[in-house]
């Protein structure tokens, strides 16, 4: 009896998430992706939309709606709903792309593109700046768990509001905030180990962008991506989503990023200098 109940629960979970059950994103059926991030990602989602629609002549079948909000890391998106932070990030995303929602009976009407499907896939390129304590390294278990908890709040909110599949990537290299940004990967690893089958890893962007810093960054700030950087970012996302569609991706950073992902480049460099 217990086994039957468990199996029924699994079947119901898959029935509630057709995309997750099918394991296929690019099936020719119209669907909407929503991007959740901030000022480092204002442009590249448009490039990604072009890439995933190249097979269709003069048509956009897979919409990529960019909900990026400047200066809005995870903590902003999971703030109290009455706060200015939530209203300018998560709340604005809902009003722009998602409404009406049974989960949000107090919110009516969509502000933008009411003729396209509501988003069922979310692409997150996010950061934990100003969200949780700085993770000192792979053994900083206490802060890893705290930061993963904040990530989980965001993905669970998206799932409650109708997103069936979420791909989560950490921030690009940010020379002003290291090793904090690099070490966010340990929180993402913790999140992926939790029982959230709708959460998948996004592409590895920190090492890739650090290797080409400052070439692919705007000048003089060297924090935001330039046109070349945007193209590379979009290509990384495209390749990862294609891998998912081909069944080549597993729900782990080792699968998405390579088995050497766990090493802290910052700590390795610090030990070498000593």
Is 131 within the bounds of a domain?
yes
Contacts of 248 (CB under 8 A, 6+ apart): none
- Domain membership flag for residue 6: no
Q: How far apart are CA 220 and CA 222, in angstroms?
A: 6
Q: What is the pLDDT of residues 216-242, one digit of tens each?
A: 999 999 999 999 999 999 999 999 999
Q: How confident is the model at residue 271 (pLDDT cuts 50, 70, 90)?
A: confident
**Inter-residue contact 190 to 144 (CB < 8 Å):** yes
CA-CA-CA-CA torsion sign (211, 149, 128, 92): positive
| Cβ neighbourhood burial of 54 (10 Å; 0-12, 13-18, 19+) | exposed
Residue 20 resides in a domain: no
pTM, two decimals, is 0.92
Asked, for residue 10, whether it belongs to a domain, the answer is: no
Give CA–CA dist 266/270, Å, rounded: 6
**pLDDT grade for 111, boundaries at 50, 70 and 90:** confident
End-to-end CA distance of the chain: 61
Number of domains the chain is built from: 1
In this structure, what CATH number is given to the domain that contains residue 31?
3.40.50.1110
Q: What pLDDT score does 194 carry?
A: 97
Considering the domain boundaries, does residue 132 fall inside one? yes
Domain limits at 50? 27-273
The structure tokens listed for 75 are 């903590």
Of the listed ranges 78-92, 105-119, 127-141, 166-180, the least confidently predicted one is 105-119
Q: Is the pLDDT of residue 11 over 50?
A: no
Mean local confidence (pLDDT), 33-38 = 95
Confirm whether 8 is domain-assigned: no
The Cα–Cα gap between 98 and 116 comes to 10
**What local confidence, expressed as pLDDT, does residue 38 receive?**
87
DSSP 8-state symbol, 217: B
Q: Say if residue 167's pLDDT is above 50.
A: yes
Least confident range from 6-15, 93-102, 240-249: namely: 6-15
């Amino acid at each position: 009896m217990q086994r039957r109940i468990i199996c029924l629960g699994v079947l119901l979970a898959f029935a509630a998430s057709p995309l997750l059950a099918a394991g296929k994103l690019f099936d020719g059926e119209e669907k909407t992706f929503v991007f959740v991030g901030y000022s480092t990602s204002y442009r590249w989602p448009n490039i990604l939309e072009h890439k995933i629609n190249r097979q269709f002549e003069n048509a956009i079948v897979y919409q990529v709606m960019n909900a990026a909000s400047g200066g809005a890391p995870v903590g902003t998106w999971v703030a109290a709903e009455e706060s200015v932070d939530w209203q300018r990030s998560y709340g604005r995303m809902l009003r722009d792309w998602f409404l009406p929602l049974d989960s949000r009976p107090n919110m009516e009407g969509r502000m933008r593109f009411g003729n396209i499907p509501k988003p069922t896939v979310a692409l997150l390129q996010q950061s934990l700046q100003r969200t949780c304590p700085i993770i000192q390294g792979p053994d900083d278990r206490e802060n890893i768990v705290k930061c993963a908890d904040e990530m989980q709040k965001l993905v669970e909110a998206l799932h409650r509001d109708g997103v069936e599949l979420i791909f989560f990537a950490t921030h690009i290299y940010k020379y002003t905030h290291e090793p904090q940004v690099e070490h966010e990967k340990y929180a993402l690893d913790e999140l992926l180990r939790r029982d959230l089958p709708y959460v998948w890893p996004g592409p590895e962007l920190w090492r890739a962008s650090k290797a080409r810093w400052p070439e692919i960054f705007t000048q003089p700030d060297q924090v935001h991506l330039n046109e070349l950087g945007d193209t590379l970012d979009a290509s990384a996302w495209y390749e990862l989503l294609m891998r998912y569609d081909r069944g080549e991706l597993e729900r782990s950073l080792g699968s998405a990023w390579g088995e050497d992902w766990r090493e802290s480049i910052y700590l390795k460099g610090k030990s070498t200098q000593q």
